[in-house]
Amino acid sequence: MGNFFGFILSMIYFDKVTKVYDDSTKALCDVTLKIEPKEFVSIVGHSGAGKTTLIKMLLAEEKPTEGKIFFESTNINALKKSEVNKLRRRIGTIFQDYRLLPNKTVYENIAFAMEAAGRTDEEIVADVPYVLELVDLADKELNFPTELSGGERQRVAIARAIVNQPDVIVADEPTGNLDPINTYEIVQILKKINDLGTTVILTTHNKGVIDELGKRVITLEGGRIVRDDPTGRYVL
């Protein structure tokens, strides 16, 4: 019964999800997982544990072999192409390799996310400088990504992720390429975003980050959830 109503009560709900790739690799196995609104959830695990597959399925980049994934009460796998785009606009994404558009300036990278969401020019002119202030990059708006440091690029990615005020921020190893100071700064920004009411899902290898956060930690191993601690620490 708990499973049946799970998707109604939670923001994100993985219902007995299994993912087997074409080459027979089993990335996820019978994963059931519930994430509430305004939660900060960290997902940890070794390489190949299934963290990225989990994120890809939430973004509708991959389909589960078995099971269902709900975003609020919507079954993600039943969405049409145009609806997938609408879903993605409600989820801000941050990646280890930043994934910025190399031929666009900092300003244009952030504006693109707003344009994609159909926002007006006036909104773009008002909001982009505001988020750039938030991530402390107001003076870099005309720079191209190649002209920025790793930490700065990741802050641009965060600015792009939050500019449409999404319901969820998904950060896949966002500190993987950063030094400790930049890592600390990025985690502080993510905490601030969560404090303002946005759900944050973070995957990481960084023990220091997890221990410092003191929030819920889900541990994946061989595609299965082996631990789910409400205020966990990094244990592998």
Residues 161-220 that bind other proteins (CB under 8 A): none
Q: Which is nearer to other proteins, 62 or 185 (CB)?
A: 62
Where does this chain touch other proteins (CB under 8 A) — which range of 31-39, 84-92, 134-142, 147-155? Answer: 84-92
d(CA 126, CA 91): 21
Where does this chain touch other proteins (CB under 8 A) — which range of 30-38, 82-90, 177-185, 220-228? Answer: 82-90
User: How many binding residues for other proteins (CB under 8 A)?
Assistant: 28
Q: Cβ of residue 6: shortest distance to other proteins, in angstroms?
A: 23
Q: Which is nearer to other proteins, 55 or 209 (CB)?
A: 55
The candidate with the shortest Cα–Cα distance to 225, out of 72, 21, 54, is 54
CA dihedral 199→206→213→216, nearest 10 degrees, is 60
Q: Is 115 in the site for other proteins (CB under 8 A)?
A: yes
* Ramachandran assignment for 118, one of left (phi > 0), alpha (psi -120 to 50 degrees), beta (any other): left
Q: Is 132 in the site for other proteins (CB under 8 A)?
A: no
Tokens of 104: 């666009």
Q: CA neighbours within 13 Å on the CB side: how many for 221? A: 6
d(CA 217, CA 43): 6
Q: Is 118 in the site for other proteins (CB under 8 A)?
A: yes
Taking CB under 8 A as the criterion, the residue among 26, 38, 68, 89 binding other proteins is 89
Q: Which is nearer to other proteins, 161 or 225 (CB)?
A: 161
Where does this chain touch other proteins (CB under 8 A) — which range of 1-9, 21-29, 57-65, 203-211? Answer: 57-65
d(CA 215, CA 203): 13
Query: 31 phi and psi, to 5 degrees?
Result: -90, 125
Tokens of 79: 């969405």
Q: Cβ of residue 88: shortest distance to other proteins, in angstroms?
A: 4
* Number of neighbouring beta carbons within 10 Å of residue 180: 11
Q: Cβ of residue 124: shortest distance to other proteins, in angstroms?
A: 10
Tokens of 9: 């009560």
The residues that touch other proteins, with contacts defined as CB under 8 A, are 59-63, 81-82, 84-89, 93, 99-103, 112-113, 115-118, 120-121, 160
